[in-house]
Chains A and B, each alone.
Chain A
């Protein structure tokens, strides 16, 4: 009976987060606000937890019975995962077949690597790879640099309210869909748009430029769209990393007569270096994923040669033209390159003693 009372008392205590935290401190455990932990500390803690868990739980009937709830639930999740994540992987078989909807998986004819060979003989596919890689790398570099620059500069803003306002505004574009962003961009760059107006007023150009008709402008426009949308959002993680730098370092540097430029160069940048490296490794695998929505929405006949990416190629051939096998083969190629890229990036980071993923 007494045990039951204890339980209800306990559960009442944890009704709300605040009350829960109080309950924690009652048990004598140090309570920390996880929001304020630095990345490194969280990682260290997670490692420690993993080690503590090495107290092996034996697989036994009693244990199975005890964990019945967990087992049933996890079985449901495994079934879900197999259906929605692993079955599509089985679909890769299609790439080696001449897949037709009528005949299905089991009766379609196997053509082995014919589809891949066709893919690499297709000049368009090679161009599409170039576009994807080119835009992916350009986007990666520009968004990365801008996010870091923005985070560092915002951190140097002394006025608390200005800082808060600028930061809040900087998040805004992240919450807008690509449809909206492309619409805004289209307006800004149109013949009567602000960009042409400013350029004409400044006397840089005499007549308006129709930006979307020249292939040379397309990649920079896409890069700008990405920078505009994600700079504030990407800066969040760097700002968090900067706040976890030991303030005494800045005080010591000030004592030695370092100015603000020097403090940034010698303290802030080295301080966020591990964060930069791990994000770089994580994002390199995404280089090929960085090319669908903007290109699809802003691309047009005039810039087709530079705007089409692997994803658009897959959509065109795989879905619109109904050549499922070719679409799947292109998809496999993309996945494979992504994994290779991330492994290489990780390996390089590991070799040079930087922060890495695995």
Chain B
């Protein structure tokens, strides 16, 4: 309340003592007649002063601030704790970790887990394939989506609305798992690297995001370039694309995260080919091996005692941290872009 008001000087001075603050707060939140007087006070841009503001606010606002603070703290703790816990376990000795009770700091330090992860053949291959599919997949998707968006956003294009409809339909209807898998089989995409990058290249959603952005660019730019004899390719590369860099970044981020995190395609199409495994698929194998052992929870001790200093749990923790690290390092700096993309993406026809 007091943020919006700057009460006159007398009140300002008096407000420093808690008692009067409360009485003022009571006044403000009190009956209509008393707030009538306060309405006369001139509006001045409030100076932020968190603690005094808080003391002066009405009891319900105080309650709100307290509740909100607790909520936010809980939210942050619940979000971060599992990740930090995994980090601690990943640096802990395997047999020791079985006892449980590790929270944020490892009890018996060990680097063995990371050594095991980084020397595991599947993880190394998986890392290369994941990096390759992320880079190539993002590049191809960005090229395809931006060109298609460019075509659909040209106002003079003859088949504009039909081409647009052709792609919008794909957002709502798809063939499903079985026909898609058979198609990939017929196209010889299964048991190959290309199944990761070719099928998902064009995504109608991303096309619509880029298109909406391109439609915000004034036509006069294109027209004047055309008058100067520029072809569509020149317009795309030299005029439209430089203006669309923010939305390109957004889409690139979406695709890159998708590529980095996918595992299902590796499991479904390349199960038999270890040379095309991905990081997430390797992680999934580790997860299921952990779940099988903990299915008989009490037997953990006997199984892990025989295998020196690493256990499936600690190795999996190390692999989890190694896999999430690149994304965690990058995403905080790209916030601006995905916020833009989502706000535009919310606008569909």
Contacts and interface: CB of A to CB of B under 8 A. Distances in A.
B228 interface: yes
Nearest to A338: B172
A74 B103 CA distance: 56
A127 interface: no
Nearest to B156: A57
A333 B278 CA distance: 32
Contact of A187 (B35, B82, B233, B349): B82
Given A67-B156, A70-B157, A173-B79, A7 B230 contact: yes
A186 interface: yes
Contacts of A81: 166-167, 170, 202
Interface in B165-180: 166-167, 169-170, 172-180
Contacts of B317: 187
How big is chain B's contact interface, by range?
35 or more
A141 interface: no
A352 interface: no
A118 interface: no
A107 interface: no
A167 to B, nearest CB: 8
Interface string A67-88: 1011101100110110111111
B192 interface: no
A184 B290 CA distance: 12
Nearest to B155: A53
A331 B178 contact: yes
A328 B163 contact: no
A326 B140 CA distance: 35
A184 B335 CA distance: 24
A180 B176 contact: no
A29 B220 contact: yes
A64 interface: yes
B264 interface: yes
Contacts of B53: 158
Given A158-B48, A172-B328, A334-B176, A237 B157 contact: no
B147 interface: yes
Contacts of A52: 155
A20 interface: yes
B302 interface: no
A188 B1 CA distance: 41
B239 A14 contact: yes
B76 A169 contact: yes
Contact of B327 (A14, A175, A178): A175
A185 interface: yes
Given A67-B158, A158-B48, A177-B280, A91 B243 contact: no
Nearest to A85: B170
A170 interface: yes
Contacts of A186: 287, 290-291, 294
Contacts of B338: 171, 236
A301 B28 CA distance: 61
Interface in B246-269: 246, 257, 260-264, 268
Interface in A182-216: 182-188, 190-194, 197, 210
By secondary structure, the A interface counts as: helix
Nearest to B189: A84
B18 interface: no
A35 B173 contact: no
A187 B85 contact: yes
A16 B268 CA distance: 43
A318 B203 CA distance: 25
A319 B183 contact: no
Contacts of A153: 68, 71-72
A91 B230 contact: no
B283 A180 contact: yes
B83 interface: yes
Interface in B293-349: 294-295, 297, 313, 316-317, 320, 323-324, 327-328, 331-332, 335-336, 338-340, 342-344, 346-349
B232 interface: yes
Nearest to A46: B215
Contacts of A210: 297
A236 B339 contact: yes
A285 B172 CA distance: 9
Contacts of B134: none
Contacts of A191: 100, 294, 297
A275 B212 contact: no
B172 A180 contact: no
A187 B201 contact: no
A228 B76 CA distance: 11
B151 A74 contact: yes
A101 to B, nearest CB: 8
A71 to B, nearest CB: 8
Interface of A: 3-4, 6-7, 10-11, 14-17, 20-21, 23-24, 27, 29, 32, 34-35, 37, 39, 42-43, 45-46, 49, 52-53, 57, 59, 63-64, 67, 69-71, 73-74, 77-78, 80-81, 83-92, 94, 150, 153-154, 156-159, 162, 166-173, 175-180, 182-188, 190-194, 197, 210, 228, 231-233, 236-237, 240, 251, 254-257, 259-261, 275, 278-279, 282, 285, 293, 297, 300, 311, 314-315, 318-319, 324, 327-328, 331-332, 334-335, 338-339, 342, 357-358
10 contacts: A4-B228, A42-B216, A81-B202, A87-B179, A168-B335, A169-B79, A185-B82, A233-B342, A300-B291, A324-B182
Given A24-B218, A186-B290, A194-B82, 15 more contacts: A10-B225, A34-B344, A35-B339, A45-B215, A73-B147, A77-B167, A170-B79, A172-B331, A187-B89, A257-B38, A261-B60, A285-B172, A297-B284, A319-B268, A331-B178
